Amino acid sequence: MKRSMRFGAATVFLLLLACAAATDGMISPPPTASLAPPPPLATGPGPVEVSGHPDPLPLVEDEDPAYAANKRLVFDMWRSIVNAGQVELADEMLREEYIQHSPILPTGRAAFKQIFSVVKRTEIPELVSPPLVTIIAEGDLVVMALRESVPEPGSDGYYTTTHFNLFRIEDGRLAEHWHSVQDAPRPDLPSAAEGGQQPVTGVSGTAQLALLQAANPVLAANKRLVFDAWRQTIDAGREEVADLYLDEDYIEHDPNIDTGREAFRTRIAARSGSPVPGSMQAPLVAVLAQGDLVVVVSAREHPHPRRAGETYTTTWFDMFRIEGNRLVEHWNGATKPGGSPGPYGN
């Protein structure tokens, strides 16, 4: 039996903001060509504002033709459907059984078309909106990162964070989607069995080691660097090893955290030290590396706010830029507590 889907005014408003947002392989690029926006010349003690890439179109290109096609598919879908509301293009860009892991959206291509039909139809823009931070590909996966502006709690201003989307491509169409929204499911969202959000799952223990493999040994080493740094600092609370992994001028884009290696050490030192685990504590969905960037995608589980004893899942993203075998920059999808939701939710 098909279940009809109805969206309230608040949901439609959220989607309009999210979609319109009009304001704001083994072959890797040369080491000098960063896939990230240029870092700021100077940073203060607080978090560093997220910037869109000043020259985003070359990011969609790739020496690997399969990666170039996958990046172009994601980029074109976003600007033509999410930004311009031309939902009929979903029939050629998405598989019919499109799997949705967002905690606030139902699954399937038909649901996708219904959701984005609320976007005012316009001409397709040249660039995606919000501004593109970067887009990277590995295997059948593509990660697209966007600069998101979120209302500042208790004021009329805005701060920035990063909105991430992970897509899996199959036979030239988008087959599966995860993103960094941490909102709880809406009351009208059906269960997973009835076409609602499909659970976010990942691997734990030694199974995570398979995700660190890459045909390019430099990319494999970059993945391992992030994996080891996370286990020893974030998971085990060993602040004394931060100097081994982080550059002194480590740049932080999490809006809740000060920038710099010393600020990172201070934060880790506040935790109780524990034995270093053999794997990351959070289940891993994917680990992608291209150029000088590594994106770690993990699963999170939360108590369901309206179904006693049940849980829902979200996807968490951390992106690192690596230079000289050190972590030099970090982005994630964090938002400030107590604020109003941004275009993509809190």
pLDDT for 123: 98
This prediction has a pTM of 0.88
The CATH number fitting domain 9-34+45-332, selected from 3.50.50.60, 1.10.3720.10, 3.10.450.50, 3.30.43.10: 3.10.450.50
pLDDT for 342: 47
pLDDT of 6 strictly over 60: no
What is the tens place of the pLDDT at every residue in 218-238? 999 999 999 999 999 999 999
pLDDT for 345: 40
pLDDT of 335 strictly over 90: yes
What does pLDDT average to over the chain? Answer: 88
Over residues 44-48, mean pLDDT: 89
Which helix (H) or strand (E) covers residue 295, if one does?
strand 293-303
pLDDT for 184: 83
pLDDT of 5 strictly over 60: no
Structure tokens at 292: 């000088």
pLDDT for 262: 95
Residue 115 near residue 124, CB atoms below 8 Å: no
Nearest-angstrom CA–CA distance, 261 and 244: 11
What is the tens place of the pLDDT at every residue in 149-200? 999 998 889 999 999 999 999 999 999 999 999 988 877 777 778 777 899 9
What pLDDT band is residue 28 in, cutting at 50, 70 and 90? very low
* DSSP track, 170-192: ETTEEEEEEE---PPPPTTPPPG
Residue 297 near residue 285, CB atoms below 8 Å: yes
260: left (phi over 0), alpha (psi -120 to 50) or beta: left
What is the tens place of the pLDDT at every residue in 52-86? 999 999 999 999 999 999 999 999 999 999 999 99
Residue 279 near residue 208, CB atoms below 8 Å: yes
Nearest Cα to Cα of residue 149 among 329, 23, 315, 45: 23
Structure tokens at 310: 């049940």
Sheet with 326-332, side-by-side order of all strands: 246-252, 326-332, 311-323, 293-303, 284-290
What pLDDT band is residue 324 in, cutting at 50, 70 and 90? very high
- Which amino acid does the sequence have at 74? V
| Structural domain spans, the chain | 9-34+45-332
Query: Exposed, middle or buried, 96 (CB in 10 Å: 0-12/13-18/19+)?
Result: exposed
What is the tens place of the pLDDT at every residue in 121-141? 999 999 999 999 999 999 999
Q: What are phi and psi of 182, to 5 degrees?
A: -110, 10
What is the tens place of the pLDDT at every residue in 252-272? 999 999 999 999 999 999 887
Nearest-angstrom CA–CA distance, 49 and 252: 9
